[in-house]
Chain A
Amino acid sequence: MLIPPSLIYVKFGRFGLWLPVFILWPLLAVLEFIFLPIAVVVGLILMPWGRRRGLLIIKGIPLAMELFALTRGLIVDVTSHDGKGVSLMFI
């Protein structure tokens, strides 16, 4: 089972910020529950006008959620010699 990241650490310059992403999990689940059936219906309706377009709409939301969940463990850390830098960590 894929578990999305719980925390995101963002740092610009010397200032860092911990974002409690786990608070958004229920909201994301509700949004997916609401919009996924709509996306499936819209995708099936648009299928005759382009199979790829329909698939994009149907698969887009689950793929986006899967990508977000898989960012757990992603680290991007760029630090200059004077201590300034940009950091992004998905935990």
Chain B
Amino acid sequence: MSEERKKVLEMLSQGKISVDQAEKLLTAITGADVAVSKDIVKKAAKYIKVEVKSKKGDNVNVRIPMQLIKAGMKFQALIPESARQQVNNALAAKGINVDIGKLKPEDLDELVLALSELEVNVNSEGGDVVRVFCE
């Protein structure tokens, strides 16, 4: 819970502000948080990078622009219904219960925001290193 939210709730509990005033303040704080988060997404997470370095000397370096991923997801609207159902069934078989036909542009922004905090580091016993992160 952020400090601002705590202060608002403390003021409400002490009777310094009414419930309506507290609600307005919390709404304003939430809106500011979302705006800052989106700003952070705009400034930061431009690329998703995958780096693999094996002990033998084999290297893989892939950098994908986030905007490309977002644009690629727009193609889901053009997938025929039969193919879309097959994709949904395949995802459900893996335990992922999502309908790709219901993805909206707002969902993509949330997904990119979530991906911006993604970082995966794997170090194997053989000395191989795998990193997945956003920059």
Contacts and interface: CB of A to CB of B under 8 A. Distances in A.
Interface of A: 52, 55-56, 59-60, 63, 66-67, 70-82, 85
A59 B65 contact: no
Contacts, number: 56
Nearest to B79: A52
Contacts of B58: 79-81
B60 A77 contact: yes
Interface of B: 46-47, 54, 56-65, 67-68, 71-72, 74-75, 77-78, 80-81
Interface of B is mostly: mixed
A73 to B, nearest CB: 5
A79 B58 CA distance: 6
Interface of A is mostly: mixed
A77 B62 contact: yes
Contacts of A74: 63-65, 68
A60 B75 CA distance: 9
Contacts of A71: 65, 68
Nearest to A89: B63
A55 B65 contact: no
B55 to A, nearest CB: 9
